[in-house]
Every structure is written in structure tokens, then in C-alpha cells.
Chains A and B, each alone.
Chain A
Amino acid sequence: MAGTVCYLKLNRNVEVMEDSVFLKDVGSVYCADKLVTAKVKSMKLHHFEKGQGSRCVISVLKITEMIEELCPQVTVQSVGEADVVAEWVQVSGHKKAKEFWKILLVSVISFFGTAFTIMAYHNDIGIVNVFSQIHRIVMGTEPTGISVLEVSYSIGLSLGIIVFFNHVGKRRITTDPTPIEVEMRKYEADVNTTLVDTADREGRTIDVG
């Protein structure tokens, strides 16, 4: 049995529903010995107390120490992150309704905000003047009312946005993630790095020693 290797892959960020964090919540474990795997997976890492913050940062070293205490004969090999951020998400009764209002708020802000932005942009560049200038250059006459230019500009703008954002409703044009999805992941990674670094600096990381 001696020298059994237990491979441990920690995630970067996890959310738990219960007030205890188990190893199976924060990453995946592989060990040739099924018994060890099962024992390690159900190991409790941290217990959240009410009113003591709902977030903790656990170092892989601490987990290694705990595993080796539990099963002295295994060697732990970490192949994932060095720290994991675990967040306790308290499920409340009105979560659905609250989430609905949040989604509505963000949607409404995005809608009016971007409408305002594009109008401000049009104002900024004086688009009416630009259009009438082009109309004069090309047609040689003053524009009377709406011309082809305005219509085609609007169509072009919509096409540009759809190509840029890569989807119409739920249907994607290519299988790539959309720019906002990419930006979302980047933002999450930044937040996570900040959480780990802050916990480290303040000495709140659950670590050995």
C-alpha cells in the first residue's frame, strides 16, 4: 500500500450550498485505491459559521496535510490550482424573484445605456451633417427626407453588431464564445486572483503552519 499516489485537482472557484465544504466540492480526486478516493472525497475541509463571512480561501498544502493525516500511506500530487476560493451560497426562499429583478435591472440598464451611447455618438460626430454632405457629393442635390444612406447605415450597424457579438438570440453564428462571455471569464479570473491575494496578505488563507 505504501507509496499510493493520490492525484488532486483543485478548482479555482467553487460555490457550495451547504455550510460545510467537503473535498469533493472543491476539486476532483483520483487514486488507484478506491477506498482512499472515497475517504478523501468525503473529507470535511471547512465549516462556515453564521455571521462569519461566507467565503474562505483554502490552500492545497492544508488539504495535502489533512489527506496525509487521514491516510498516512498515500502521497498527494496536486495537478490543479494552489488555492481554491469556496463561497457559501445561502439559498433563500425569494431567490428566484430576487434574481428576476436583478436580471431585469441589468437588462434595462444595458438597453437604455447602449441606446443612449449610440445616440450620443451620432450627436458627437454630427451624423446628420455627414449624411447630407455625402448626399450632396454623390447625388449633387440637397437631401429631402430620409435617403438610402440612412436606411443602409442602420442595416449595416445591425449587421456589424450581430457579427461582432456572434449571435442572434440564442442562435450562434459560429461556435466561438461571444466577446462578453470571454470578458466575463476574464473578470471572474481577476476577481478570484484578488480574493486569493487579499486572503493571503491578511493571513486568512486556511493553510499549514
Chain B
Amino acid sequence: MWGSIFLAVFGTSFGLLAAAGVFTVLVAVGIVPRFAGKTHTAGHVLLYEDMVIWGTVVGCIVSIFERYFHIGTRLFRMGVPFSVVQVGGNFVTGIIGLFSGMFIGCLALAIAEMLDSIPIFTRRIGFRHGLGIAICAMAAGKLAGSLMYFYLCLHEVVK
């Protein structure tokens, strides 16, 4: 009984501080305001914040209570044909991958930009034209690196 109470208190405070930590980074990088600025929809910032909140809550629940979320297996057991599950699953994972990739891509460059690495570089080497090409090259590099990481199973090496 006391153990459970302790666990509850511990878990709640851990959650509170983890939220503060993760969100300070997201807000300090200022990625959502940038989306809103680019699309001229600053009036809907509250909606975007709601989406950030729901995204985090859903992500948290899915990753912690993972065993209850094996939707594909469940659908298959309920009698949905395997091919349907496969096609639908690929579609859903494709969507999740695409949008989370966009977010992470923006986040990665936003963090790099926080250190002003690109402006400093361009100033040091007297780089005036072709900034667009440099950005495209960075994007291509990220794409190649990401594909290589998954193709060569580099994540196995880290383990």
C-alpha cells in the first residue's frame, strides 16, 4: 500500500518535470511559431498548442502502455484479412513517418540554427551567393544519412 502511494507520488513528479524539460526545448527552439509565421496563421496558435499537448499525451500513452496498442494484431485476430491490415498499416505508418519526419527535420535545423552556425560560417568564408544550394545540400545530406542509418542498421551498432 505505502509502496504504491510512493510510486504514485514519484511517477507524478517525474512526469511533471519531464514535461517541463521536454517542452522547454521545444518552445525555446521556437518551431511552432515559425510554422505559424510561415503559413500566416498566427491567429490559430492556441489550436497548435492544443495539438502539441495532445500529441505529447498520445505519444506518452502509446509508448508507455505499448502492449495495449498492437492494433494490427488485434484487427487481424478480429478477422480482418491480413492483406487489408498490411495495406492499412503501411498507409498509417507512412503518414506518421512523413509528418513526424517533417517535424524532426525542422527541429534539427532549428537547433543547429540556435547556435548560429550557418550565419557564422557564411560570414567567415565570405559566402555570398548560393545559400539556397547549401540548404538543399544539407537536406540531401540529411536524407542520405537517414536512409543509410536504416539501410545499414547502424542502430544495431549502438547497442
Partner of B61, one of A108, A116, A154: A154
Q: How many residues of A contact B (CB 8 A)?
A: 60
Query: For residue A164, which residues in chain B have a CB less than 8 angstroms away from its CB?
Result: 19-20, 23
Across-interface contacts of A140 in B (CB, < 8 A): 3
In chain A, positions 23-66 with a C-beta closer than 8 Å to chain B are: none
Interface check A149, CB cutoff 8 A: yes
Q: A111 touches which one: B6, B11, B55 (CB < 8 A)?
A: B55
Q: Does B102 contact A (CB under 8 A)?
A: yes
A159 part of interface (Cβ distance < 8 Å): yes
The reply to whether B48 and A112 form a contact with Cβ atoms under 8 Å apart is: no
Interface bracket on B? 35 or more
A contact residues around B26 at 8 Å (CB): 114, 117
State whether the Cβ of B10 lies closer than 8 Å to any Cβ in chain A. Answer: yes
**Known contacts A115-B56, A156-B16; A110 and B32 CB within 8 A of each other:** yes
A-B contact count (CB 8 A): 230
Task: Write the nearest CB–CB distance from A127 to chain B, whole angstroms.
Answer: 7
One of A3-11, A74-82, A118-126, A200-208 at the interface:
A118-126
Tell me how far the C-beta of A145 lies from the nearest C-beta in chain B, rounded to whole angstroms. Answer: 8
CB of A184 within 8 A of CB of B45, answer yes
- Give chain A residues whose Cβ lies under 8 Å from the Cβ of B44: 103, 106
Query: Could you tell me the distance in whole angstroms from the C-beta of A188 to the nearest C-beta in chain B?
Result: 7
* Bound form: Cα–Cα A165–B19 in Å: 10
Q: Scan residues 1-53 of chain B and give those whose CB is less than 8 A from a CB of chain A.
A: 3-4, 6-20, 22-23, 26-27, 30, 32-37, 39-42, 44-53
Can you name 5 extra interface pairs (CB under 8 A) apart from A111-B99, A116-B103? Answer: A106-B44, A112-B103, A114-B26, A156-B11, A180-B27
